[in-house]
Structure 1
Amino acid sequence: MNVDKLAPLPAVGELLSRYALFHTEDMDEARRRGADVFCDHRLDFAGSSRAFDARMCFRRLRGIGVGRMTYGGDVAIEPGRLEGFTLVQMPLSGHERIRSGDELIDSHPGVASVISPHRPVSMQHRAGTEKLFIRIDSAVLERHCIQHLGHDLRDPIDFRLDMSLDSTAGQRWMRAVQWLIAEAGQDDESGGAMALSSPLLAAQIEQMLISMLLMCQPNTYSERLRGESPSIAPAFVKRIEQYIEEHADEALTIVDLAEHAGVSSRSLFAGFRRFRDTTPMAYLKEVRLKRVHESLQRACDGNTTVTREALRWGFSHLGHFTAAYKRRFGESPSETLARG
């Protein structure tokens, strides 16, 4: 299976269309039919609008399932704990706010979500949002992880909630997903959808996707899966991450960070590249963007402005700041402030 050479994806409206599961304007029906794929959950309107036009396409493939869905309106989804499966959601359009345990993210076409089964989860699905999703049975995921590690799991597999689709790892994951969707959309004569029914190929696809997720998305066992010692090399990286979190409002340089870590700038760069797939200054920028986002979300009076918060967290070029903010959170800073 060559996932680096992709067949062109069909138009959004045609993705997985041969596997249409339901199309309804009845919320109770959508909840019941959705529960058959996911789990029992609460589904309610999240605003004054009563627009609702739910659609789902879904194909089961051994221990995984691939699908596409939209609710066609502003809705709140409360499944509690997923328990039996891990859910990866990749928005094609729109915006979702997802809380899992203590983590809260804004998911949009640049940021996917990876929801672990052991933490309570809730979602705010905005009108105009449509997404692809991959559902992975917990037992199958754990079995594959055990095979990779060579020993039983001591703790549940817990994934980082947000997946940046602009990162190298995120792009690798999306190539695998796009390959599967493109194959599923092929006519039977070309060996696509019919070939996916082959037990041998289905087993290979299941293994490929699960292995890709375990290696691409940070999780409880990432360091062991890469064959790295979790207690030696990353120590200075974690020290710098904590230092950045505590001093993000200060004028930090790479020299400052290297001196605090007690390593050379070169070693600091190498450590962040190897263990975090980023650079120290890019990590600092990400922390500062999150701080601006949190400040704008908490704004409850007329004294907070986008410019003031941007400058407070070190963003002097407002045009570049706004572009980076929109890529990260799927909306402009002023839109976040308006909802604060």
Structure 2
Amino acid sequence: MTVVPDPAPAYPSSTTPLGRFALARSGDVDDARATVANAFCRHQLAPLERHERFEAQFNGVALGAVGVYYLDYGSAVRIDPKELDDFYLVQIPLSGQARILGRGWEVESSPAVASVLQPESPVSMRWLTGNRQLLVHIDSAALHDRLRRRLGRTPRHPIRFDPAMRLSGNTERAWVRLVRTLVECVDLLGVESENLAVAELGNTVMNQLLLSQANNYSAELHAPAAAAALPRPVRRAADILAARVGEQIAIPDIADEVGVSVRALQAGFRTHLGTTPSEYLRALRLRHAHADLTAADPLTDTVSDIAVRWGFTHLGRFAATYGAEYGESPAVTLRR
């Protein structure tokens, strides 16, 4: 196997990234599992070698839409997560190896190959002894909003990344270097709100992942047309709609706020986003309803409550629109 130079100076085994932000240090499997689950999602965790000492070390911080973490179990383990509901997780080994199995794919992960886990894509993992990882947690709604801004339109399908991030490429290595820079800044500066450098680096990590890792929008993102800026009124109106998605919104008021007529705003959205302001808002609300249904408890939440929360008062039309977009009924999503 070709040895790929590490994209940035590796943390030696004696150095623990994010050491100021310890979340767990435990020899108890159940305690470790509960703490990691609280940061990510429910999962099964089982040591693979009885003679090895299990000693989990878990550090990390959430920085808005992006979180950075360090995890080492101290021994070989099997990890079977619940499907990721609302986030992407990039796993970057600092040392050791891991095997990640998905539906129809497999990644042998090492310091030369990171892995990308994504919503609604079940996996099973084997982390071998000595596998120390940096983990990057990215909120899916925020990432899709970044994609929307770059494309200049609302994407119709979720982002699907290649699950293997091979660090032989310069762009992938540069992204991992950026992650390590973010981790080092957090270690040095902390996460107080006034540390704008940390917040900006977190946003950059999210933006650059879209451009660095192969995904189903890569061709469009790298096409020359994708770099063309939206007209300022259209961009501002789209941002206002996204920011006020949970509020009552009148399109004439938005047009007035951005300084154009309703007719001009409608024409701008059709020309540059391929939709109307009302349809754009409806798509945003449908995405939020999908996220809420995915995260809801079917014992206490109902489809109608969530639909009405996002402005869908006609449940039949909501179910039809939802089914056309997500390929299943809202009730099926809620029960899953």
Please give the range of the TM-score, normalised by the shorter of the 2 chains: 0.5 to 0.7
Letter in 1 for 2:72: T
Q: 1:84 aligns with which of 83, 86, 103?
A: 86
Describe the superposition over 1:154-184 as per-residue Cα deviations: whole angstroms up to 9, x where unpaired. 1111100111112111211122112112212
Q: Distance in 2 between matches of 1:73 and 1:170?
A: 28
Report what 2:157 is aligned to.
Answer: 155
1:193 and 2:187 equivalent? no
Shift of 1:206: 2.9
5 Å-filtered alignment, 1:290-329, equals none
Shift of 1:51: 2.7
Which of 224, 240, 247 is 2:220 aligned to?
A: 224
CA contact (8 A) 2:61 2:67 kept: yes
Match of 1:234 in 2: none
Aligned letter for 1:96? A
Counterpart secondary structure, 2:74: coil
Q: Which amino acid is the alignment partner of residue 193 of structure 1? A: G
Q: Distance between the aligned counterparts of 2:200 and 2:79, measured in 1?
A: 33
Q: Does structure 1 retain, via aligned residues, the 8 Å contact 2:89–2:118?
A: yes
Give 3-state SS (helix, strand or coil) of 2:37's partner: helix
Cα offsets for 1:244-276 (capped at 9, x unmatched)? xxxxxxxxxxxxxxxxxxxxxxxxxxxxxxxxx
Identity fraction in percent = 35
- Per-residue CA deviations over 1:39-83 (Å, capped at 9, x if unaligned) read 011111234445311110101101110011111111111113112
TM-score, normalised by the number of residues in structure 1: 0.60
Letter in 2 for 1:184: V
Match of 1:239 in 2: none
The correspondence of residues 48-87 of structure 1 with structure 2, limited to 5 A, is 48-49=50-51, 51-87=53-89
Taking structure 1 as reference, are residues 147 and 83 closer, same or farther at Cα in structure 2, changes over 3 Å only?
A: same
**Residue correspondence of structure 1 range 125-274 to structure 2 within 5 A:** 125-186=127-188, 192-193=189-190, 197-198=193-194, 200-227=196-223
Gaps of 5+ in 2: 1-6, 226-336
Structure 1 residue aligned with 2:41: 39
Q: How many residues align?
A: 219
C-alpha RMSD of matched pairs (Å): 2.3
Partner residue of 2:99? 97
TM superposition shift of 1:205: 2.2
Q: How far, CA to CA, are the matches of 2:177 and 2:224 in structure 1?
A: 26
Q: Structure 1: which 5+ residue stretches go unaligned?
A: 1-5, 187-191, 230-340
CA distance in structure 1 between the aligned counterparts of 2:179 and 2:99, rounded to whole angstroms: 22
Deviation at 1:101, TM superposition (A): 2.2
State how far apart, in whole Å, the 1-side matches of 2:42 and 2:75 are: 20
Q: Distance in 2 between matches of 1:11 and 1:95?
A: 16
TM-score by length of 2: 0.61
Among 17, 21, 45, the alignment partner of 1:15 is: 17
The change in CA–CA distance for 1:85 and 1:53 in structure 2 (over 3 A counts) is same
Task: Look up the SS of the partner of 1:14 in the other structure.
Answer: coil
Contact 1:100-1:115 within 8 A present in 2 as well: no
> Any conservation in 2 of the 1:54–1:72 contact (CA below 8 Å)?
yes
